[in-house]
Structure 1
Amino acid sequence: MYRSIDLFAGIGGIRLGFEQAFMNDIKTVFASELDERAAETYTANFKDDFDVVGDITKVDEKDIPPHDILLAGFPCQAFSLAGRKKGFDDARGTLFFDVARIVRHHKPKVVFCENVKNLVNHDRGRTFRVIRTILEDMGYRVFHQVLNSKDFGVPQNRERIYVVAFRNDIAPQTFIFPEKMDDAKTIRDIVEKKEVSAKYYLSTAYLDSLKRHRARHEAKGHGFGYEVRDLDSVAGAIVCGGMGRERNLIVDERLTDFTPVTHIKGEINRECIRRMTPREWARLQGFPDTFRLTVADTHLYKQFGNSVTVPVIRAIAERIRLHLEALEAEEENGRRAVGWR
């Protein structure tokens, strides 16, 4: 049984991927998430005998239970191309150092981190070199790879960096990240099977404003603006802010009642353009339909935009498990050899 902790846990996407890979051989003993609504979704889906801790910066590392695997999806906004890219000058960027102090004290066998692709290039590569050097100085061999979610059975073009650090005494010489497994899925595979609520359809007033917004940027030679995706294509990376929902609109002609169910300006558009639902976003991230969505849509869009793609995590975790099991087999063979002598 491997013991794990879940830092910057969000709604538990990294944990879910590891649980799918390790099955009954992993147990989460500690979780931390500052966002109360995300923690609410987390606790609705994971039944633990402990409470989710809020601010990890206020937690003494000595009070965290011993563990074998540390999971950390530390905030990416400080390094994102979509943000201001302040890195360690942003308070969110410095949260990696909280990961480091916990690693330094507990020395887990494996440290797993996920972040935006730009982490590697941020500040001309210096930011990632700092992260790598800190882990290496604490006694870890570090491996990393940028993977795209669309290669792992979900129709979302989402590139992220994945970092796997093994403690030196158990580290392999090389760690091979999983390769493309399934790139055939399209948006059509994840849309709701039945007609969705009229609330997800854009009003005529809002759609007109989006068209004007895009026209202004196109006139300036920019590529900004709303985008309607073909159902036989893949979605762009879902994100929690800005034009996140409007960059992944779809046409769904199944609406039978165009009566608004919320207060809108104008009418429901007759082009049948709508936002994807939170459940569809959950599917874009590879969450099973059994995953409970218990908070308001506004929070769910933010949570899934901030989350990870579960099948990618699972594929990497399966490789980690294979290595750990091989080590265990070697140790067992060694004990038997000593016994025979």
Structure 2
Amino acid sequence: MIFNKGELFCGPGGMSKGAQDALVIHPQTGEEFRIQHIWANDFDADSCKTFAKNICGDENDPSVHLGPVEKLPIGDREVLPDIDCLAFGFPCNDYSQVGKKKGMDGDYGPLYSYGVKAIRAYQPKFFVAENVGGLKSANEGQAFIQILTELEEAGYHLTPHLYKFEEYGVPQARHRIIIVGIRNDLHEEGIHFRVPAPTTPVPEQYVTSKQALTDPPILEFALNHEYPRHGEKVKKMLEHIPEGKNAWHPDIPKELQLNVKGARLSSIYKRLDSNRPAYTVTGSGGGGTHMYHWKENRALTNRERARLQTFPDDFEFIGSRESVRKQIGMAVPVKGVKQIFEAILKTFAGIEYDYVEPEPKLQLENLVKQKSIAAKELAALV
């Protein structure tokens, strides 16, 4: 069985690469269950070229539509054909803990609604939606309730869960809310998605940043592996920063310390800890936010960042060095999302797999109940 997939906010293709790599073969019948790309959209030109080159085989593939989602002809089958599944990692800028957390009041907050629009237009068998953990608390929790409500009202049984990707073999502490929706009629027929059980559930099993970047070693001529250049002061400062520590380590001589008032962000000139997964790969930020090698006195290359996001070394990112950095930082870890797609395929194939219960605090009925209790407590105080 082949599921034809459409995708909004596709970025460079982390979600699609994970879907493309997911393959389930029924042990009795030998039938293959897999997912294939049909169309995708993003507003960033370099991301579209990267996606098209790696997912479609041609960076000018017409199935990848460049432009704002607001102008995408959702529902026009001549431009965007019918699909069996939809993926959308709607922009997280207004929900991130790092940003201003405007939620629905920000420029990006309402963009999830185009995912809902596509779901209503195509009624896919399932969808996968992704966003940052901060989504739950945006607009005092109301944004997440609204999003879940609209997805449910579109006719889907939802399984939202906070996935900690280091527990799924990803060499990075990256936590994301992923909502899997199964169309109601299929759910009623017995297609019940379960959250796949972590494959590396305890710290002793986590894949470390050192393992990710050295096993196997990255070839010198690997794609997107240009080494960064640093001034002498930065290189000297890094000499005094132990692995896992940042620019405010007490051993840094005074003349090399940063002259930044009030800033103590833990990621500023922070080295990786070779014995632990990397901290979260980000796609933006000024000097000192590029992630730093645990031993060498330099920032990581883009290929090293891509390794931490579990992209294969032959996955070529197109664009300037900063554009590539942004693409990698905004992507979904390939290996992590592949396991989610495989669990969905096993669900449709009727194959049992190890699973865990979804995070109770993210279930719509619990969120509404908590909101109601909080409102009553507030009213009592007034």
- TM-score of the superposed pair, with normalisation by structure 2: 0.73
Q: State the aligned residue count.
A: 306
Match of 2:11 in 1: 10
1:177 to 195, 200, 204: 195
Instruction: Look up the SS of the partner of 1:239 in the other structure.
Output: coil
Instruction: Return the letter of the residue paired with 2:198.
Output: K
What's the CA shift for 1:134? 0.4
Unmatched 5+ stretches in structure 1: 253-271, 328-341
Match of 2:344 in 1: 320
8 Å Cα contact 1:74-1:95 kept in structure 2: yes
Q: Partners in 2 of 1:9 and 1:288 — Cα distance?
A: 18
Q: How much has 1:198 moved relative to structure 2?
A: 8.4
Superposed, 1:6-85 pairs within 5 Å as: 6-22=7-23, 25-47=34-56, 50-53=62-65, 54-63=67-76, 64-85=80-101
Which structure: greater helix fraction? 1
Say which is worse superposed, 31-40 or 150-159, in terms of deviation.
150-159
Alignment of 1:112-127 (within 5 A): 112-127=128-143
Distance 1:108 1:174, change over 3 A: closer
Q: Is the 8 A contact 1:85 1:122 kept in 2?
A: yes
**Helix, strand or coil: the match of 2:159?**
strand
Q: What residue in structure 1 maps to residue 366 of structure 2? A: none
The 8 Å contact of residues 267 and 291 in structure 2, kept in 1 or not, is answered as no
Output aligned runs, 1:1-341, within 5 Å.
1-22=2-23, 25-47=34-56, 50-53=62-65, 54-63=67-76, 64-171=80-187, 175-182=193-200, 183-191=205-213, 193=217, 199-200=227-228, 202-207=230-235, 208=237, 212-213=257-258, 216-217=261-262, 223=266, 225-242=268-285, 246=289, 248-252=291-295, 272-326=296-350
Residue-by-residue CA offset, 1:85-126 (whole Å, 9 max, x unaligned): 111212211111111111111111111111101111222221
Distance 1:305 1:274 in 2: 18
Larger mean CA deviation between 119-128 and 74-83 belongs to 119-128
The verdict on how the C-alpha distance between 1:194 and 1:26 changes in structure 2, with shifts beyond 3 A counting, is: closer
| CA 1:65–1:71: 2 relative to 1, 3 Å | same
User: Residue 288 of structure 1: CA displacement?
Assistant: 1.1
Distance 1:226 1:160 in 2: 24
Q: Which stretch of the first structure deviates more once superposed, 58-67 or 176-185?
A: 176-185
Give the SS at the match of 1:226. coil
> What do you get for the CA RMSD once the two structures are aligned?
2.6
Query: 19-28 or 30-39: which moved more?
Result: 19-28
Q: 1:216 Cα deviation (Å)?
A: 4.8
Q: Aligned to 2:346, what secondary structure does the other structure show? A: helix
The unaligned stretches of length 5 or more in structure 2 are 25-31, 239-246, 248-255, 352-382
Q: Distance in 1 between matches of 2:167 and 2:3?
A: 28
Partner of 1:261: none
The CA deviation string for residues 251-275 of structure 1, in whole angstroms up to 9 with x for no partner, is 44xxxxxxxxxxxxxxxxxxx4111
- SS of corresponding position for 1:312: helix
Query: Helix, strand or coil for the counterpart of 2:56?
Result: coil
The TM-score, its normalising length taken from structure 1, stands at 0.82
Amino acid corresponding to residue 30 of structure 1 in structure 2: W
- % same residue: 28
Deviations 1:209-240 (A, max 9, x none): 9653387547xx76563211232222110111
